[in-house]
Amino acid sequence: MHRPAVQQAVADAHRREWAKVLAAAVRVARDLDLAEECVQDAYVAALRTWSTDGVPSNPGAWLVTTARRNVLDALRRAQVFRAKMPLLAVDDVAEVSFTGHSAVGDDYLSLIFMCCHPALRPEGQIALTLRLVCGLDTPDIAQAFLVSETTMRARIGRAKKKIAAAHIPFRVPSASELPDRMDAVLTVIHLLFTTGHTAPSGDDLTRTDLAERAVDLARTLHSLMPNEREVRGLLALLLVNYARRATRTDVAGRLLLLEEQDRSKWDGAMIAEGHHLVVGALRGGTPGRFALQAAIAALHATAPSYADTDWDQVLVLYDELLNVWPSPVVALNRTVALAMVEGAAVALREVEGLERNDQLAGYHYVPAVKADLFRRLGRREDAAKAYRKALELVDNEAERVFLADRLAESTSG
């Protein structure tokens, strides 16, 4: 079989089957490091074996069988096989399930809840889940948390060690345990979508497989917990943003800003569904961070044009979001609305203040926003300098091309 076709089949299996294969390996290994290593080896074996034998009719079952065999071989080599014998009574590998009855129902979602154990620090829960369950690369997770790759590797390592040292069981939490894990689970799904919506690295602006997976997970969670306001908020946020997916680049793959996008090509049904969810998420007391983000996104999505957006209301919502979630990234996003309401000069002062925040060091959107404000103020040399800074920091090729084009505009003539 041709290698490109096999590579595509393995990539597809990685997107669709990773969580199930990892769950099977964890169930036998009871060790995250060992399970992850054995699953990775299974995918390497798939690339080699499928090239000669062809892609199996059930790639997931093949990978589960291979990963479990890798675990058993490793346990034998470690001379602990006998101690692990009681764990080997597993059902048919094509029907892998988790230990115990799942209060969640969806296997992928169950694994996320399992990894978001409250004994771990919140950032450790989220990072570990994104790496192991969602299969994100450590550098991309580090970008999402605005920390170095080294820091993120250490954070994931500490979470794994904590699981081992505290003897945290590999089981799906009961219904009564779900609320303590809810915020971490929502954050995982949101960051998974964010990574797909605008990929931190690579040639393409988006990773559709990740964005779709996040939307599906949010839908599943909402179907299980329809009265949870933040679950509604998260699903609304994802739907309203995902509705614009067809217009975020042109036919050549060039990034298009919100003001440049053809709103007639947005998914109206998805926006309407998201707007309906937002209304429910905002009722019943102080809204949470996902409901507020969804409300902001809905204002953008339902406005007839960029200029006709209710920028005053957007700014009010950002102020409330900062009270609920005092994030420097939220503060930076707020400056876009501030520029529309009070002018680019006022927003520029806010951005310059945010530059002193260590959390935003290396975050390419800071100089990118600053450059755009300089451009609007007619300060071409300052804009060019800021665009160069942003280009030094960006890893996504579509964003790099956009910034290079803006730099060229600032230096021409």
- Return per-residue pLDDT of the chain as tens, 413 residues: 577 888 889 988 887 788 788 878 887 887 777 888 899 999 999 999 999 999 999 999 999 999 999 998 888 877 654 555 444 444 433 334 444 445 555 667 777 887 888 888 888 888 888 887 787 888 888 888 888 899 999 998 888 888 777 777 666 677 788 888 899 999 999 999 999 899 888 888 888 888 998 999 999 899 888 889 999 999 999 999 999 999 999 988 899 999 999 999 999 999 999 999 999 999 888 899 999 999 999 999 999 999 999 999 999 999 999 999 999 999 999 999 999 999 999 999 999 999 999 999 999 999 999 999 999 999 999 999 999 999 999 999 999 999 999 999 999 86
Q: Which residues contact 184 (CB under 8 A, 6 or more apart)?
A: 116, 122, 125, 126, 129
| pLDDT of amino acid 79 | 62
- Cα 336-199-335 angle, rounded to 5 deg: 10
Q: How many CB atoms lie within 10 A of CB 170?
A: 20
Closest listed residue to residue 13, CA positions, set 52, 54, 49, 47: 47
Which residues are bridge partners to 249 per DSSP?
255
DSSP string, 5-43: HHHHHHHHHHHHHHHHHHHHHHHHH--HHHHHHHHHHHH
Q: What is the pTM of this model?
A: 0.82
What structural domains does the chain harbor? Answer: 1-81+105-168 (no CATH), 173-323 (no CATH), 327-412 (1.25.40)
Q: With beta carbons less than 8 A apart as the criterion, state whether 50 and 9 touch.
A: yes
